Structure 1
Amino acid sequence: MIFMTFGTGLGAGLILNGKLYSGSSSSAGEAGHIRLAPDGPIGYRKAGSFEGFCSGGGIRQIGQQVALREIKRGNPPAWCRSEEELDTVTAKTVGDAAEAGDTVAAEVYDISGEKLGYGLSILIDLLNPEKIVLGGIYMRSAELLNRKMYEVLEREALPQALSVCRIVPAGLGESIGDLAAVLVAMQAAGAL
């Protein structure tokens, strides 16, 4: 199983053979560092990274780029009317607009969903998990991300690996990060 955060950043917890896998230098699961494009939004100091496209900060950056393009075309979106407003764009601003039917905001989520599909296809092909649990923004915006995500997964992931992998939103809500931190601390203390 893979648990992925999709919030301020993008990271993964790997449960392999029933145990948390940390790797030989305790840095396993840093999926956000995978480069998905030669250029693009910056996540953890790397342009075009998985985190750059699939995090709150990444959605903000994509939103700013798409809004600026539309402003220059003379068709500014309602959620960002001028270049002076670009700094006010957030993932929530864009998500709320997309959920309300704004096509420019929906394009932002299409871009993020497409890159989410590419990143997940890499993980599915490498690790062959039976389940990927996505937290954070995905829990609130799955409907906006899923179409493009699944299009890419169907095209890119190995069919035999994808057929056994379920992709689900985190069931523990917004407190999942807090609970994960407690479990890691308990494991480090030998309580698990």
Structure 2
Amino acid sequence: MASEGDQHKLHRKGVTVYSSVAENQRNTGHLCGSINSTSPDVTWVTCDDTARYITLYRDNNNGYTPMDFCEVQVFVCNAGTFGHDCSQFCHCEDGTCNYVTGECTGGCKSNWTGRTCSECSKSTYGFWCANNCNQRNCLGNSSCDHVTGKCDQGCDRGYQGEDCATDAYINWESTHNLQNSKLEYLLSSTVRSYHVNKA
């Protein structure tokens, strides 16, 4: 006679996992994978499609249909994320992207491009593609790196930074004023010290 552990393993044999958009499906829909008596106690099955229902099905060919499962967990990426661990982002215009491939079927939101709408469009760069390539102050004609916005030949006079978007005069003026403040403080401290020592 089979032990209790062996019985549980037999109850796993021939179980198939399906995903579908309609409820009450049996062995129809998208086949995600199968579980058998040699499957580990904790088994991962990935359903690489968009679905609303998950069905665990066991064929009744031999009249023996019990299934033993302690727990079934279904993990789904949040809207706007995709991939095996849901760590990649998509920026779809209409609806969410495919949770596995990241593909957007309804086009991309403004400033985004690519199959998964996760690349900056030609005219944007930076975090969340929020910076406009045309607002940089590059020397001559320059391509626009879609991550950094770097200017190929440097910056126009009066601008600095990798993307030439920072006004160099404002930075110089702030630094210059700070240095003057330190100088004034040092001078006033020296004068006070002088008066104290003399008295």
TM-score bracket relative to the smaller structure:
under 0.3
What TM-score results when the alignment is normalised by the length of structure 2?
Answer: 0.21
The structure having more radius of gyration, on CA atoms, is: 2
Higher relative contact order (CA 8 A, sep 6+): 1
More helix per residue: 1
More strand per residue: 2
What TM-score results when the alignment is normalised by the length of structure 1?
Answer: 0.22
